[in-house]
Structure 1
Amino acid sequence: MIPDSLTQLQYDTIYNIFSLVIASQLFTSIFLVISLPRVLPRYRQALTVAAIVCGIAAYHYFRIFNSFTEAFVTEAVGGRGDYVQVAGASFNEGYRYVDWLLTVPLLLLELVAVLALARKVQSSLLTRLIPAAALMIALGYPGEMASDNLTRGIFGLLSSLPFAYILYVLFVELTKSLDRQPATVRKTISLLRLLLLATWGVYPIAYLLPGLGIDGSDAWVGLQIGYSVADILAKCLYGLIIFRIARMKSFSDDQAFAEVELTLEEATSLKQPIVQNRRK
């Protein structure tokens, strides 16, 4: 439940964390778009989806940020004091769920796309994963908007069911595909699944804060921080690991491409000391 007031420290903390998320999502998206030529064409779909995910998140965090600054104001001289909700205005938590409804299925698509599995296997995985992801977000929203912990807990439990199913598919079904991946990327793909589990695990913890004895503005601030940090890890860091896997698989698939890319990297690294020496 959104608090009626925030202290100066609480307001500044949320203000800064939202700013951090916007910068992280926006510039990760730009980096991934620029990096498309650095992988083979068959892996560019995964990077494109990763860039779209971060772009969607950046847009929604702009909306979340604006909603926050419009909902809370202070009448203190110099703008330094407690912040209270503006009459007739409210922080719109719905932006976050719209973002997740779009980006969570796409995160799963990233993983499946970078594996470059047979079309039939990809179709089977996506048919199971994407509806489950959408259902998980849809069931979590009524609980997020609820004003009592009982309703929040019921919908939290319901949304955990598709969440558990997604984890089952990722850790049981996708394990079967690892043997068909290059040996150089198997460990990274396994770590990527663990990252997904760890970051997605932050969301239910933040969701449950109001029911863990943390009340009022402290619970709400902790909720926003938890969601924001999880979004950076689950989208930005996840997308960068997808890029790393795509690069490693590109090198494994095409030796000539690998030689060109490595030569380019070596040439770039050799130019750096020259530039530094000239500055001296």
Structure 2
Amino acid sequence: MIVAQGIQVNELSSGQYDSIYNLFSLAIASLGFTGLFLVISQGRVLKRYRNALIVSATVCFIATYHYFRIFNNFKDSYQTSAQGGRGTFTLTNVEFNEAYRYVDWFLTVPLLLVETIAVLALAKAVQKSLLFKLVPASALMIALGYPGELATDTATRLIWGTLSTIPFLYLLYVLFVELSKSLDRQPPEVRGTVSRLRIMLVGLWGVYPIAYLFPVFGFDGSNAFVARQVGYSLADIFAKAAFGLVIFKIARMKSEVEDPAFAEQEDTEVVHAAR
């Protein structure tokens, strides 16, 4: 097993431990049940948009699996002998494995872009062209960031962080320049929502480099460790679970615009099922 040993802390207070413990639990619940909702809700959108929901649910389920691994690893890494579990939690011989996050991001970040393109229902040639640019760049961004996470010195961390920024800037270009050419083909009712979807995605991605650069800013120790786990976890919840719900909203809106009869029939079935 590859273990990320860039930043380890030897002790956590009971409050710090509980904060991370509870946040990991929140991430598991949020991601898992959002994925389940998206699978169940496929029938509420037209067939052409169901792939977007399936990909979004897959993102949530992959993240849920990795958060189970992170959660269990965290419990093994930090333990206390204090009665009632209210004392200081010390690092055991089991290192806290930050690599779980990078494996997750390596899989889910490209899929987030896939679901974004899928919900737009563009011409196949346009979809293929965009995905050919977005997916490799996103995978390269994550791969280049990982060695910096392992680094114990600032220079190495900055070098890999800078290299990781290059494909990130290319992603911004594709999302805000090339993809904008396709927004005119979207129904006016959803054009604004789709535009905000890109801003939401990029804005949430901005949380990750901030947490990544904590050691560069001189923010270290147990407080930095807790802040990094909080930042990464909240960003994952919003970038995957909340983002998936926005994807569902767009798919639903486009289904209503393109086939009002389908939307009316689906609404009727939902009302009858609720009675």
* TM-score where L is the length of structure 1: 0.94
Stretches of structure 2 lacking an aligned partner (at least 5 in a row): 1-6
* Alpha-carbon shift at residue 211 of structure 1 (Å): 1.5
Aligned: 1:38 with 2:41? no
Deviations for 1:126-148, whole angstroms, at most 9, x for unmatched residues?
A: 00000000000000100011111
Root-mean-square deviation (CA, aligned residues, Å) is 1.1
**2:24 paired residue number:** 18
Give the ranges of 4+ consecutive aligned residues of structure 1 lying more than 2 Å apart after TM superposition.
261-269
* Alpha-carbon shift at residue 265 of structure 1 (Å): 4.7
Aligned: 1:61 with 2:73? no
Aligned: 1:136 with 2:136? no
Q: Which of residues 67, 79, 103 in structure 2 aligns to 1:98?
A: 103
C-alpha separation between the residues in 1 aligned to 2:144 and 2:70?
Answer: 21
Stretches of structure 1 lacking an aligned partner (at least 5 in a row): 272-280
Instruction: State how 1:119-268 maps to structure 2 within 5 Å.
Output: 119-265=124-270, 267=272
Aligned to 1:84, what secondary structure does the other structure show? strand
* TM-score where L is the length of structure 2: 0.95
Query: Partner letter of residue 262 of structure 1?
Result: D
Aligned to 1:166, what secondary structure does the other structure show? helix
C-alpha separation between the residues in 2 aligned to 1:217 and 1:257?
Answer: 54
C-alpha separation between the residues in 2 aligned to 1:267 and 1:213?
Answer: 59
Deviations for 1:192-215, whole angstroms, at most 9, x for unmatched residues?
A: 011001100111111111221211
C-alpha separation between the residues in 1 aligned to 2:165 and 2:28?
Answer: 28
**1:115 paired residue number:** 120
Task: Pick the structure with greater CA Rg.
Answer: 1
